[in-house]
Structure 1
């Protein structure tokens, strides 16, 4: 029976998950593949001893021992970050080894170089776990939807942000308090910036757009806003408007240009994405032949993500066994067919908006604000004022009809300069009913 040997770089949460999946499912994998898939080495500079069940697996602090080992077929990189992960991946490819990674930051920033090197060397790169944790979103896009022109991508792609917004919505807890609790429970990192500011979601959207549209794109090209300015008041007002606030990744394919954005969005309560709660992810594709497809599941976690990494290992093992390396292009499109596309400028976007202003409760304030909005051809759908004060500021909420982003930007800059406006305006886009 053929044996596939795997070298694992990084024995953190996901690395432990992969090891556990390969161990606990070893008999099932033999029945499904006709091969044994063996963990042949683990490299981690911070691990002194492996769990007893992995006592026969060699442990090293030097990842290059695995990369240069001629007996290892597949290198799995699970250390995260750009360096030294990129160096290890490229060295493994140069050695003729196949690579599996869950590193969305690496792929969204340096993917072009990595995939080009793999294609030139004739090896595979698997990255299912880089988007959606345990959800098989990469395989669905690369193979299941291959006969489709992808018209749009939209989804909740960060479990930490979704957990925070869910707790704020269901329990009325302020952002900072929920974040601290999420860190205590392990849902958020000690430095949560990538999660709460939308950067992690932008990494994932860049990977999906590259595959969906056959275009090179990095997360730096994606307009990105986070959730740190969302307050319980916004959550409650969204509820009054029949919405829930979600951090969404959104891309629409307009043919000659494509949208690429990540931001908090008011989602109508009857929309599928509004019901996605806690640390779960959901990713929606619209194809020209299949229509609407929604993939839902655990977007993080040791075992779910380990399962996705294992799926890549098994796919590559099968390709090795059948001699069919390169049967499916890593990015779905053939390398020669990748083409740059224009990214839709945010100023060209058009949709409804929610504005929360903090204003002095005095005559003429609303008239002044309405006058500025009218100047920029922004039509008001509704106005909500919470509370009345003889002295001090009150919240004023305005919901608009469809407006152009460039006009909104100009209007809010003027409104923010009014003496009667005492705090920065909070702007949240409302999901278009047609989306």
Structure 2
């Protein structure tokens, strides 16, 4: 079996997430690609501060050691800052390697140059992880762009700022206290300037602009304002009339050019970003055919960002899933138990006669059952007095009655 060799630049939070994800999911790579995937080398700044779980992986502080590897197919960039990342990726592309980057600052500055160089050397470049962590926004936009014309994009692109605003509203905290909490939980750096002043979101917006419109606005023309002037009093005032502060990046192409802003705005309950809380990111996309699409998910962290990197890796090789893999996935899905709510007359007889995995009484008129869909449907459809509904999400059991029946609030 062939092996695809990867060099990893950086071994911080993102780098460790990529390393562990590749190491722990070899069976999926083999099924999808027909190849093993191996981390061949890891580049770090200080070799004494790091220890790799595999002794056969090269750990080095010298990028030239990586370029000299006899087998190298992909270089993954998990470094912070424009340099030396840009220089390293240029060299990797010239060597004939595919590259994947999670470095938003570098890619906002140099993405166009790297794409042109990659085309010249007939390799690919992936950058999904530069924008919104685990949310596949780049792939979504590339798909929409086949026919749809995107007219506007609005997004919460920084989980730290969103977390701070959420905690200020939910727990009546000051900005300083909410920031301190974010730092204690690892969401904010010791120097939080890039997050709270909108610099991080600015870089991401520039990358999105390049994807959506094929160009970026003049950086000096972009309106950028952070959240440091948002007070608990302001949040409380506007919450009382149903409005929430969100730090939003907005991109729109007008007759005079691309208009871009990153600033605090007030969002009403009718807007897709209203319910985006905590460290979540979200993108609201307006297009001329499909209308509005909103996607939401974890915007940062070890494994959400690693997920984006690894999905980029899969797309680089444009795999066609094997028939065996597809059939295995279908069987797995078909065999998975599904939760159902059953209501109507005849519940007692139903519970006694149906051999499902579990049947629980949630209410005198409501049962919760778990079973395979096909078998379950055959039992229920024979009784017209029963109604049944599939349950999405978990059912929170709130207590038990004296006869030990389980109830929830209806």
Give the TM-score normalised by structure 1.
0.71
Per the TM alignment, residue 256 of structure 1 is displaced from its structure 2 partner at its CA by 4.7
RMSD: 1.8
Aligned equivalents of 1:218 and 1:195: distance in 2?
21
Aligned equivalents of 1:69 and 1:92: distance in 2?
11
Aligned equivalents of 1:97 and 1:216: distance in 2?
27
Do the aligned residues in 1 keep the contact of 2:2 with 2:35 (CA within 8 Å)? Answer: yes
Aligned pairs for 1:26-65 (under 5 A) are: 26-48=26-48, 49-52=50-53, 54-65=54-65
* 2:181 aligned residue: 181
Aligned equivalents of 1:248 and 1:115: distance in 2?
28
> 1:42/1:250 Cα in 2 relative to 1: closer, same or farther (>3 Å)?
same
Aligned pairs for 1:258-407 (under 5 A) are: 258-318=258-318
Task: Provide the secondary structure at the position in 2 that maps to 1:274.
Answer: coil
> 1:320/1:105 Cα in 2 relative to 1: closer, same or farther (>3 Å)?
farther
* 1:143 aligned residue: 143
* 1:154 aligned residue: 154
Aligned equivalents of 1:41 and 1:8: distance in 2?
6
Do the aligned residues in 2 keep the contact of 1:247 with 1:262 (CA within 8 Å)? Answer: yes
Do the aligned residues in 1 keep the contact of 2:225 with 2:263 (CA within 8 Å)? Answer: yes
Per the TM alignment, residue 44 of structure 1 is displaced from its structure 2 partner at its CA by 0.7
- Residue deviations 1:52-108, cap 9 Å, x none? 3x3332211212211343410111111110111111111111212111100111111
* 2:164 aligned residue: 164
Per the TM alignment, residue 271 of structure 1 is displaced from its structure 2 partner at its CA by 2.0
Aligned equivalents of 2:228 and 2:308: distance in 1?
30
Do the aligned residues in 2 keep the contact of 1:11 with 1:44 (CA within 8 Å)? Answer: yes
* 2:206 aligned residue: 206
Do the aligned residues in 1 keep the contact of 2:179 with 2:188 (CA within 8 Å)? Answer: yes
Aligned length: 320
Task: Provide the secondary structure at the position in 1 that maps to 2:274.
Answer: helix
* 1:195 aligned residue: 195
Give the TM-score normalised by structure 2.
0.75
Which consecutive residues of structure 1, in runs of 5 or more, have no partner in the other structure? 322-435
* 1:84 aligned residue: 84
Aligned equivalents of 2:260 and 2:216: distance in 1?
13
Per the TM alignment, residue 184 of structure 1 is displaced from its structure 2 partner at its CA by 1.4
- Residue deviations 1:159-205, cap 9 Å, x none? 00000000001011000111111111100011111100011111111
Which consecutive residues of structure 2, in runs of 5 or more, have no partner in the other structure? 322-410
Per the TM alignment, residue 287 of structure 1 is displaced from its structure 2 partner at its CA by 1.2
Task: Provide the secondary structure at the position in 2 that maps to 1:272.
Answer: coil
Do the aligned residues in 2 keep the contact of 1:202 with 1:219 (CA within 8 Å)? Answer: no
Do the aligned residues in 2 keep the contact of 1:157 with 1:201 (CA within 8 Å)? Answer: yes
- Residue deviations 1:387-425, cap 9 Å, x none? xxxxxxxxxxxxxxxxxxxxxxxxxxxxxxxxxxxxxxx
Task: Provide the secondary structure at the position in 1 that maps to 2:45.
Answer: coil
Aligned equivalents of 1:3 and 1:206: distance in 2?
36
Aligned equivalents of 1:72 and 1:50: distance in 2?
22
Do the aligned residues in 2 keep the contact of 1:145 with 1:287 (CA within 8 Å)? Answer: no
Do the aligned residues in 2 keep the contact of 1:68 with 1:95 (CA within 8 Å)? Answer: no
Aligned equivalents of 2:70 and 2:221: distance in 1?
39
* 1:24 aligned residue: 24
Aligned equivalents of 1:222 and 1:17: distance in 2?
33
* 2:103 aligned residue: 103
Do the aligned residues in 2 keep the contact of 1:77 with 1:99 (CA within 8 Å)? Answer: yes
Task: Provide the secondary structure at the position in 2 that maps to 1:259.
Answer: strand
* 1:254 aligned residue: 254
Aligned equivalents of 1:277 and 1:171: distance in 2?
13
